[in-house]
């Protein structure tokens, strides 16, 4: 990895050097500049030609050499020596070529590292310092302008050395920065690739079917589970539109409001599997948006729920039979009690051993038990074979008024029991008046029965949104928590004379009206809240 980078850098070093030397050589031949000014024009030309030859040698060696760093150092030292030689040959302190020395420092800093930059800078400083010093003391056979003072020489050396180190610092700094940035980029790049692979793995291995489509519904991704569930291979799927695979997506994909919330569309439908026949599919589709919130298509996730549906149907079937069984047992129990006491009374009457007064009482008991039997049976009939609801528009408040009036006149209402109404004006609903009357009658009777020693039943009704809300609140004993879940069951009763069918019937009727019954209860009383839709006759 590092070797590869270094060999690439060496290649560019060699190339740049060729260009540089060629330019220098070319200008020498073409322009003949300095031919007269240079003290040693011939040797200068020779040096340039030697460098050119060396370059060819480097280029050949580059393919064979293994120790790139050493190879780089050799080149850099030769470069630096050659430049100093060039400077010597072209006049020492008066040479035009001292600008090339910082270039050798720079190439050391960029090709290798900061340290190499400083090494070449030091090497240059020593060589250059020696040449200029020796020139000043006239040890070297180099002429110079006699106006140049010792100070000028020293300053020249100082300026050059400063430049070398500055360049070494800058090039080393820049190249290490560059290195770090490119390393970070490479890391990010490979992280992204890993993430992409990871995502693909996840999508492939998720046990739910997943697809994505473009804006027009053409399939782009179709995972393994999708293939299994639909029985359609990916290659075929990728050539289709989504409604070709899920015909129940119709219109192909729901148009979504612009800039609106990401909507989820859930649907169920049937597809025909190549091998397994009809399958029921549960599918959720939502829009796919990019980071700029622009719509890119759709993403869907789906499961085969055929088996689940089958089980659900089986359970429902079983539950139905269990409920019928329980109901029959309850009816038998409810009917057997009054029959037993009826039988008892009649037997005693037959024995003819009772007094006249006793006879009267027994007859009364027999009649009462017969009434009770009759009640149970008619309540049960209302519960078990209800006539279908007939919806008409009527004033609910008026009907409530009537019902409460009748309740107030029943035998069980004593003096210390008050019934208050908190509603006025008409409240029109579309419902089955007969059936709703039965609901409110049952709720009212229960409230009265819950307050044997008096209290208050208050009835409210109001309209909210498209619903009518009717509230029966009593100050009775309340319903114990453990019974709250059972009071709507048929035959659940806590009363000696109760049938346990009142609330069961009420529940069924409210359900028929798509309404709801809520209960809250504590030992200060109980509140039943009935909610029914279709206010103002709106169906
Ligand atoms: P029943 O009135 O014949 O017992 P219901 O179905 O009308 O049958 O009521 C079932 C049971 O729910 C009652 O036996 C009673 O225990 C309880 N219940 C219903 N309404 C009230 C109420 N307002 N206050 C206290 N308990 C109630
Ligand atoms: Mg009741």
Which residue's CA lies nearest to atom 21 of ligand 1?
A: 446
State how far the alpha carbon of 220 is from the alpha carbons of 107, 216, 237, 487, in Å.
51, 11, 9, 55
Q: Is 375 in the pocket of ligand 1 (CB under 6 A)?
A: no
Compute the distance from residue 333 Cα to the ligand 1 centre, in Å: 19
User: Rounded distance, CA 379 to CA 382, Å?
Assistant: 5
Compute the distance from residue 446 Cα to the ligand 2 centre, in Å: 5
Compute the distance from residue 74 Cα to the ligand 1 centre, in Å: 105
User: Rounded distance, CA 303 to CA 283, Å?
Assistant: 7
Which residue's CA lies nearest to atom 4 of ligand 1?
A: 493
Compute the distance from residue 472 Cα to the ligand 2 centre, in Å: 14
Same domain for 105 and 163, yes or no, is yes
Same domain for 523 and 397, yes or no, is yes
Domain-embedded: residue 191: no
Same domain for 48 and 70, yes or no, is yes
Compute the distance from residue 428 Cα to the ligand 2 centre, in Å: 27
pLDDT reported for residue 217: 87
Which residue's CA lies nearest to atom 14 of ligand 1?
A: 493
Q: Is 438 in the pocket of ligand 1 (CB under 6 A)?
A: no
Domain-embedded: residue 32: yes
Q: Which ligand is nearest to the CA of 523?
A: 1
User: Rounded distance, CA 307 to CA 284, Å?
Assistant: 19
Q: Which ligand is nearest to the CA of 491?
A: 1
Compute the distance from residue 186 Cα to the ligand 1 centre, in Å: 76
Q: Which of 304, 319, 335 is the last residue of a domain?
A: 304
Domain-embedded: residue 192: no
Packing angle, helices 41-64 and 2-31, rounded to 10? 160
pLDDT reported for residue 22: 81
Question: Residue 315 burial (CB < 10 Å; 0-12/13-18/19+)?
Answer: exposed
Residue to mutate, 446, 452, 528, ligand 1, most ligand atoms under 8 Å from C-beta: 446
Same domain for 440 and 291, yes or no, is no
pLDDT reported for residue 251: 54
pLDDT (tens digit per residue) in 75-84: 889 988 988 8
Q: What pTM was computed for the model?
A: 0.48
User: Rounded distance, CA 58 to CA 51, Å?
Assistant: 10
Domain-embedded: residue 159: yes
Q: Which ligand is nearest to the CA of 520?
A: 1
Q: Name the nearest CA neighbour of 171 among 100, 106, 80, 101.
A: 106
Q: What share of the chain is helix, strand, coil (3-state, %, to 5)?
A: 55, 15, 25
CATH number, residue 287: 3.30.450.20
Same domain for 172 and 320, yes or no, is no
Same domain for 66 and 162, yes or no, is yes
Q: Name the nearest CA neighbour of 160 among 194, 186, 122, 193.
A: 122
Q: Which ligand is nearest to the CA of 493?
A: 1
Domain-embedded: residue 141: yes
Same domain for 89 and 128, yes or no, is yes
Same domain for 420 and 528, yes or no, is yes
Q: Is 490 in the pocket of ligand 1 (CB under 6 A)?
A: no
Same domain for 77 and 169, yes or no, is yes
Classify strands 525-532 and 516-522 as parallel, antiparallel or unpaired: antiparallel
Q: Which of 245, 270, 304 is the last residue of a domain?
A: 304
pLDDT reported for residue 39: 66
Question: What atom in ligand 1 is closest to the CA of residue 504?
Answer: 6
CATH number, residue 372: 1.10.287.130
Residue to mutate, 483, 503, 523, ligand 1, most ligand atoms under 8 Å from C-beta: 503
Q: How many CB atoms lie within 10 A of CB 324?
A: 11
Domain-embedded: residue 190: no
Q: Is 474 in the pocket of ligand 1 (CB under 6 A)?
A: yes
Q: What does 64-88 look like in DSSP terms, one character per residue?
A: H-S-HHHHHHHHHHHHHHHHHHHHH
pLDDT reported for residue 476: 94
Q: Is 399 in the pocket of ligand 1 (CB under 6 A)?
A: no
Same domain for 525 and 435, yes or no, is yes
Q: Are 501 and 383 in contact (CB under 8 A)?
A: yes
Q: Which ligand is nearest to the CA of 503?
A: 1
User: Rounded distance, CA 100 to CA 24, Å?
Assistant: 11
Domain-embedded: residue 200: no
Same domain for 399 and 444, yes or no, is yes
Q: Name the nearest CA neighbour of 450 among 399, 413, 400, 405.
A: 413
Q: How many CB atoms lie within 10 A of CB 148?
A: 14
Compute the distance from residue 161 Cα to the ligand 2 centre, in Å: 110
CATH number, residue 422: 3.30.565.10
Domain-embedded: residue 437: yes
Q: Give me the domain span that covers residue 240.
A: 206-304
Question: For each of the chain's 539 residues, which pLDDT tens digit applies?
Answer: 567 778 888 888 888 888 888 887 777 667 665 555 666 667 777 877 888 888 888 888 887 877 888 888 988 899 889 888 888 887 788 777 888 888 889 888 888 888 889 999 999 999 998 988 888 887 877 777 777 788 888 888 898 899 899 999 998 888 888 888 988 998 898 888 888 888 889 999 999 999 999 888 899 999 999 999 999 999 999 988 888 899 888 654 555 555 555 567 888 999 998 888 899 999 998 888 888 888 888 899 999 999 999 999 999 988 888 878 888 888 888 888 889 888 988 888 888 778 888 888 888 988 988 988 888 888 888 887 778 899 999 999 999 999 999 898 886 667 789 999 999 889 999 999 999 999 999 999 999 999 998 999 999 999 988 899 999 999 999 999 999 989 998 889 999 888 899 999 999 999 999 999 999 999 999 999 999 997 765 44
Same domain for 321 and 463, yes or no, is no
Give the count of domains, the chain: 4
Compute the distance from residue 346 Cα to the ligand 2 centre, in Å: 29
pLDDT reported for residue 455: 93
Question: Who contacts 93 (Cβ-Cβ below 8 Å, separation ≥6)?
Answer: 132, 135, 136, 144, 148, 152, 153, 156
């Amino acid at each position: 990895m590092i070797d590869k980078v270094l060999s690439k850098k060496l290649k560019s070093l060699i190339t740049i050097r060729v260009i540089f030397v060629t330019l220098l050589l070319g200008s020498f031949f073409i322009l003949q500049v300095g031919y007269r000014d240079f003290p040693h024009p011939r040797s200068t030309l020779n040096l340039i030609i030697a460098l050119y030859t060396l370059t060819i040698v480097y280029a050949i060696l580059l393919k064979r050499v293994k120790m790139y760093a050493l190879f780089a150092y050799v080149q850099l030292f030769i470069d630096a020596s050659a430049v100093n030689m060039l400077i010597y040959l072209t006049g020492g302190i008066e040479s035009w070529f001292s600008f090339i020395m910082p270039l050798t420092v720079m190439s050391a800093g960029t090709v290798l590292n900061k340290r190499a930059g400083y090494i070449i800078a030091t090497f240059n400083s020593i060589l250059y310092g020696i040449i200029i010093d020796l020139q000043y003391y006239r040890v070297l056979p180099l002429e110079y302008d006699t106006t140049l003072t010792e100070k000028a020489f020293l300053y020249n050396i100082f300026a050059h050395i400063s430049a070398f180190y500055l360049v070494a610092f800058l090039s080393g700094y820049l190249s290490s920065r560059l290195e770090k940035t490119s390393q970070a980029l490479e890391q990010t790049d490979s992280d992204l690739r890993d993430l992409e692979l990871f995502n693909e793995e996840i999508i492939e291995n998720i046990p739910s079917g997943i697809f994505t489509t473009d804006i027009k519904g053409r399939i782009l991704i179709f995972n393994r589970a999708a293939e299994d569930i639909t029985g359609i291979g990916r290659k075929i799927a990728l050539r289709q539109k989504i409604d070709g695979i899920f015909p129940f997506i119709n219109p192909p994909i729901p148009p979504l409001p612009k800039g609106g919330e990401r909507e989820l569309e859930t649907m169920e439908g049937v597809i025909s599997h190549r091998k397994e026949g009809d399958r029921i599919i549960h599918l959720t589709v939502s829009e796919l948006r990019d980071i700029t919130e622009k719509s890119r298509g759709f993403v869907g996730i789906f499961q085969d729920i055929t088996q689940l549906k089958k089980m659900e149907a089986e359970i429902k079937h079983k539950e139905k039979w269990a409920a019928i069984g329980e109901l029959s047992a309850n009816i038998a129990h409810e009917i057997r009690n009054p029959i037993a006491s009826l039988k008892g009374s009649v037997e005693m009457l037959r024995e003819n051993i009772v007094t006249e007064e006793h006879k009267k009482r027994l007859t009364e008991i027999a009649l009462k038990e017969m009434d009770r039997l009759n009640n149970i049976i008619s309540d049960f009939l209302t519960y078990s074979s209800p006539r279908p609801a007939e919806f008409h528009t009527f004033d609910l408040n008026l009907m409530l008024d009537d019902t409460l009036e009748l309740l107030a006149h029943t035998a069980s209402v004593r003096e210390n029991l008050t019934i208050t109404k908190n509603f006025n004006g008409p409240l029109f609903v579309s419902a089955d008046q007969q059936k709703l009357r039965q609901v409110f009658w049952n709720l009212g009777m229960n409230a009265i029965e819950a307050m044997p020693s008096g209290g208050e039943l208050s009835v409210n009704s109001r309209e909210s949104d498209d619903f009518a809300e009717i509230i029966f609140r009593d100050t009775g004993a309340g319903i114990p928590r453990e019974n709250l879940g059972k009071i709507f069951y048929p035959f659940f009763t806590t009363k000696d004379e109760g049938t346990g069918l009142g609330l069961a019937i009420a529940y069924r009727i409210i359900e028929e009206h798509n309404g709801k019954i809520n209960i809250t209860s504590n030992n200060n009383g109980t509140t039943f809240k009935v909610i029914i839709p279709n206010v103002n006759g709106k169906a």
